[in-house]
Amino acid sequence: MNDDTHAYEGREFEAAANLVNYYNWITAYFQPYLRGNGVEIGAGIGTYSQYLRPFFSTLDLVEPSPTQRNLLAQRFHSDENVYAFSETIDSYRQRTGDKSRDSICMVNVLEHIENDHAALSDLSKMLKMDGHLCIFVPALPVLYSRLDKIFGHHRRYTRPELVRKVSGAGLKIVTCKYMDFAGIFAWGLINTLGRSTDLNPRAMQVYDRCVIPVTRVLESVVPAPIGKSLILIAQKVA
């Protein structure tokens, strides 16, 4: 398998560096399934890695960009149980072997991978029995924008599509749900209709402080029928 198959670009990590409520919301869903030897695929500059670190005895940060891998190594240089690799998914699997990891996480990464079927198959094979795959991706193809294309997104997912692809990799779906109903309008107006060509970090921080906490509470009471993003947890059972 060619290394380019699992390559992606991770510029969103830089723009989203200070979205504390956003990342805490994702982590609240992931947390029950994080344990033991963990992996973050597409770790970027380590923005989300710091949220994952407390839940693992060891954490591998896999990042295909050598430049960003070096930033990861610098960021976690004092933690002897965090390891940064400049690898693609398939090359990392060759390094570590199958049935070797308890939990694998991907946040805003799978959409960058052209052959997501192959990537999911590799991830499934790396999981130990009863291990978990935790995925967060952009949702709703109708929202696909010029900015998605600029960032190297091959797609935005629907819930049935994501469930079908993860199940097809041999994993049991624990949960798959839409998140951030309000984000549909923000993304749609600014990016899909407005044709923005870059993220606005200041506007994102305002949204994170003012909208995400309210949306999180509301969606804990009434699950979102659709949303800007999808979160999925799957388990290796066979």
pLDDT in tens, 172-227: 999 999 999 999 999 888 888 887 878 888 889 999 999 999 999 999 999 999 99
d(CA 211, CA 218): 11
pLDDT of residue 14: 60
Give the pLDDT confidence of 3-59 residue by residue, as tens digits.
343 444 445 556 677 899 999 999 999 999 999 999 999 999 999 999 999 999 999
Q: What is the DSSP letter of 181?
A: H
Average pLDDT over residues 93-119: 96
206 φ, ψ (degrees, to nearest 5)? -65, -45
d(CA 116, CA 123): 10
Model pTM above 0.85: yes
Give the pLDDT confidence of 155-182 residue by residue, as tens digits.
999 999 999 999 999 999 999 999 999 9
Structural domains in the chain? 3-235 (3.40.50.150)
pLDDT of residue 1: 35
Which is nearest to 131 in space by CA: 10, 1, 238?
238
DSSP string, 183-194: HHHHHIIIIIIT
Are 61 and 49 a contacting pair, CB within 8 Å?
A: yes
What the block records as the tokens of 95 is 């390094």
Which is nearest to 39 in space by CA: 112, 128, 163, 152?
128
pLDDT of residue 207: 94
What the block records as the tokens of 82 is 């965090």
pLDDT of residue 192: 81
What the block records as the tokens of 163 is 């469930």
DSSP-based three-state secondary structure for 139: strand
d(CA 103, CA 130): 9
pLDDT of residue 7: 42
pLDDT of residue 16: 75
Mean pLDDT, the chain, whole residue set: 92
State the distance between the two ends of the chain, measured CA to CA, in whole angstroms.
Answer: 24
pLDDT of residue 194: 82
Which is nearest to 4 in space by CA: 139, 104, 149, 152?
152
Check pLDDT > 90 for residue 130: yes
pLDDT of residue 15: 65
Helix then strand then coil, in percent of the chain rounded to 5, is: 45, 20, 30
d(CA 79, CA 122): 27
Are 226 and 178 a contacting pair, CB within 8 Å?
A: yes
pLDDT of residue 2: 38
